[in-house]
Amino acid sequence: MKKRFMITLVAMLLMLATAGAASAEQSKPIQVWLDGKELAFEVEPLVQNNVTYVEFRSLLTALDYAITYDAAKKQIRGVSGDGEHTIEMTSGSSNTLVNGQLVKGQIQPLIWKGRTLIPLRFVGEATGLNVEWDGSSRMITLTTPWPNAKDYAQLNSFLEQLGTAQSSGNDSDIRALLSPNGLDNGATYSALMGHVGQVEIESTYQFTNILYMTATETLISATNESRKVSGGFFLNRNSNLVLELSRASKGDEWKLDRLKILTVNYTNIEALRAATPTVPAEEKAKIIGILEEQIAASNAEDVKRYEATFAPDTPGLKEAMTLSQALFEQFDLRFELADVQIIYYDGSEAYIHFTQTTTKLKGPSFIDNQFEGIAKVIKLDNGTWRVTNEMLVLDIDEV
C-alpha cells in the first residue's frame, strides 16, 4: 500500500511539474521580429483560440504604414508609405477591406486594453510578409520578400547619389557613400576619384539588375557614362559595372564595398586622334624618344635600362621589374612601335597613342599580338620625360 502511494505521489509530482512547465511556457511573452529587429508593442501579442493577435498600430507603423482611427465608426485604417496598399478593419465586424476589396473569411479585430489587435497571419497575407511561428520559443519572425519596389528605389537613389558625388569631385560626399571596406579599398576609391584635380567630368549611373540580395548585402549590375566637361586629358567612356553593396540592417542606406569594371567602351578616341596639340619640336622628340627607348631596352632585355625609362616614384616599379626580368629570361621577344602620335600635351604631361607588335623569337608557347594603346608620360623637375604606369590598352589582336 505504501509503495503504491509513493508511486502515485511521484506521478502526481511529475504531472504538476509538467503542468507548471507548460504554464510557464504559455506565460512567456511572444516576441515579434521584423527583418532582424525585435518590435515593441504597447500591448503584448496574445493567443486566443489558437490565433495569434498583434497590435495593429505598432506593427503597421513598423511597416511604414500611416494609421488613422475613426472613433465614431470604430474603424482603423492603414495606408502604406507608397500609397499602394490599404487595410481597413472595423471593431465588431468581420468586413475587412484590403486595397478596397472585401477579404473572404472571418477576419475580425480584437479590442484589448484599449488597443486594436488583429490576426497576425492575416497581416502577413495582406502585406506580403513571410510569417514563421516557433512555438517552443514563442517567437514570430516576419521577413519582407525582396527585391521589392522599395529596394529598387533605394538602389536607384544610391546610384544617382554616386554619380552626383563623382561629378562634383567632393571627397566627403564620396566617402559618405563608401562602407568601411570600400574606404579601405584603394582601387574602388581611385576608380571614383582618380580624375579629381585633373579634369571635371559628368558621371551618370543606370541600374541594370540585381544579381544577388540579402537583407544586408547585394550585388548589382549597372552602366556608367562618364564624359569630360572641362580640364585636362580624359577618355569619355561607357562602362558595364558590378557593384557590391552592404548595410547594417534592412532599411538602412546602402554603402559601396567594391566596384568592378567589366567592360569599357571609349567614345572619343577618334576625336583625340584627330587633335593636333602644339608641342615644341624639342619636347616632342624627348616625349616620343622615351617611349622608343623603352622599346629598345625591352628588345635588348636590359632591365636596368628599361627601369630607367619610368618615373622614379612609379607605384610597384620594383615588382614590375622583377616580372620583366622573369619574362626576358623565359622568352626572346621582339617589340615594334608604329603609328606613334602625341594626342595631348600641356607642358608637364603628355599622352601618346601608339601601336605595338610583339613577336616571339624563342621560348615556350606564346601568342604573337598587336595592340593599340595610350601611354602617359610626365616631365620631371630636371626637364627629362619618363613613362608612368598609366598604360591603357584599347584593342588587342593576334598576329
**pLDDT, tens digit (0-9, with 9 covering 90-100), for 125-150:** 888 788 888 888 888 888 877 788 88
> Mean per-residue pLDDT for 24-36?
74
Q: In order of start, what are the domains of the chain with their CATH numbers?
A: 31-143 (3.30.457.10), 149-267 (3.10.450.50), 275-398 (3.10.450.50)
Lowest mean pLDDT among 34-38, 163-167, 325-329: 34-38
Residue 256, classified by CB atoms within 10 Å of its CB into exposed (0-12), middle (13-18) or buried (19+), is buried
CB-based contacts of 86, cutoff 8 Å, min separation 6 = 77, 78, 79, 80, 97, 98, 99, 100
Q: Does the structure show a pLDDT above 50 at 29? A: yes
Q: Does the structure show a pLDDT above 90 at 183? A: no
Residue 360 near residue 366 (C-beta atoms within 8 A) = yes
**What pLDDT, on the 0 to 100 scale, is given for residue 376?**
96
Report which of 197, 332, 177, 322 is spatially closest to residue 259, judged by C-alpha positions. Answer: 177
CA separation, residue 26 to residues 19, 48, 250, 293, 297 (Å): 10, 12, 31, 85, 84
CB-based contacts of 117, cutoff 8 Å, min separation 6 = 43, 45, 46, 53, 54, 55, 56, 109, 110, 111
> Mean per-residue pLDDT for 352-367?
96
Q: Model-level pTM?
A: 0.66
Residue 335 near residue 358 (C-beta atoms within 8 A) = yes
Report which of 148, 241, 249, 128 is spatially closest to residue 187, judged by C-alpha positions. Answer: 241
**What pLDDT, on the 0 to 100 scale, is given for residue 106?**
67
**What pLDDT, on the 0 to 100 scale, is given for residue 12?**
39
Q: pLDDT per residue over 223-268, tens digit each? A: 999 999 999 999 999 999 999 999 988 778 999 999 999 999 999 9
**What pLDDT, on the 0 to 100 scale, is given for residue 27?**
62
332 pLDDT band (50/70/90 cuts)?
very high
Amino acid at 256: L
110 pLDDT band (50/70/90 cuts)?
confident
β pairing state of 349-362 and 369-379: antiparallel
Q: Does the structure show a pLDDT above 90 at 21? A: no
Q: Does the structure show a pLDDT above 90 at 323? A: yes
| Residue that is written with C-alpha cell 621577344 in the block | 333
Q: Does the structure show a pLDDT above 60 at 24? A: no
Question: What's the gap between Cα 192 and its chain centre?
Answer: 14
366 pLDDT band (50/70/90 cuts)?
very high
Half-sphere exposure of 28 (CA within 13 A, CB side): 15
Residue 334 near residue 301 (C-beta atoms within 8 A) = no
Q: If DSSP codes are grouped into helix, strand and coil, which group holds residue 81?
A: coil
Higher-confidence position of 121 and 2 = 121
